[in-house]
Structure 1
């Protein structure tokens, strides 16, 4: 019988993908737990099968040829599709449960406080949270993001569109005598640089007020909860989404430093992944209605 697919050795392809991704036969050999010679042998066999070189070999390393780059992109797409299917199969045994991915801050400040109300209304649906502050979301039915939902290929639900306030502790406000935007621009500011989502920054906030970029000292952190804690500890001012920080504002741990506020350029939204079950969609609709 003829082969259904025109493919060389799958082992050779897997070996090539590892070498192309790392641009190193040595690193690929360590990843695959084989010798560098074995990697080199498999790639030479693949090149012979295809009739052209896939790498340009140099003294200090390798680089992909045009054919190699074309094959690498195709393999990455194929492996990503296979990986997603494997994740679906692994989770297929429990389709009554729902897995939702969110950042540490979104989980702690917004999502977790709402779970008790959902479970009261739907006690038979188990919710598991995947805390993911950076990188690609995998293995989730749903995920929460800050940005433009129109860029998503999957179905989305807008959760809420917030105002962004300049916040700090009462002690910080008093120490730096913050009475207006000019005082705030010269005060210490906390900058959050997260890899998970786009993040509105201080220069965006001041630009929305038709003001130049701030000139005060900056403290740079990569976790929003830590940024909030630093603000409560009087380190600096922090940007705060009004809908996320109701408890901090009500308790007085943080106060609005100036009356000006910026309308958030993006909403927080829910992405409904292709693998989402009926219960995941139920939870998605419930969250969106109460956003």
Structure 2
């Protein structure tokens, strides 16, 4: 059988990548095991099982990671304003991504907004402009929130959104951030949220859920209110996923309505 053909269907590289993205969004992380597993060899019904350990962000940075995280924490704590935090984070040299990125992407929108949108990391267009969510996914994000009366350029904090990413520097090739990169960015992100003090947070995609909840699998998590950084948070599918899978926009609309309802309830 030709390598590019599977069960009678042509499978080009773009389609294969789209299928892989879909599987990752669905939470598939082990497509093939190293050894066969006998699914019929089940443990005894009454056998005691240990409680699963709490999720831990696995790091691989070695001995130099702890000092970099400690430096980031000290810099973040010392920042008494968003401007001071932005200056401290931009000057921080403890993340290698800084060397290959063109621009620092701190935030966009109204910092007094009640809703903070937490994205993943800058893409190519964001890296060019130094602002988060300005590419195709950002344009869709603007339309999504405009549908419930919210906008990044709104002066009124009641109708505004504030947009932040887990990472402020673009990963090469738009790859996912590594656990180490998230670890050194988290102190700044926590302080950013403390200073902005939003009422609600939207966790837009897998990376924000990993950073805030230490969980992935956005299609399982979306639509369920959780606590993140001490505030109510709503996981939602990333607009880039919605662009690839238009049928998922219906669920995203339901999530937006849930967000609008929660905002209204907090205003009473």
TM above 0.5, yes or no, is no
- TM-score normalised by the chain length of structure 1: 0.26
Greater strand fraction, Structure 1 or Structure 2? 1
- TM-score normalised by the chain length of structure 2: 0.28
Structure whose CA Rg is larger = 1
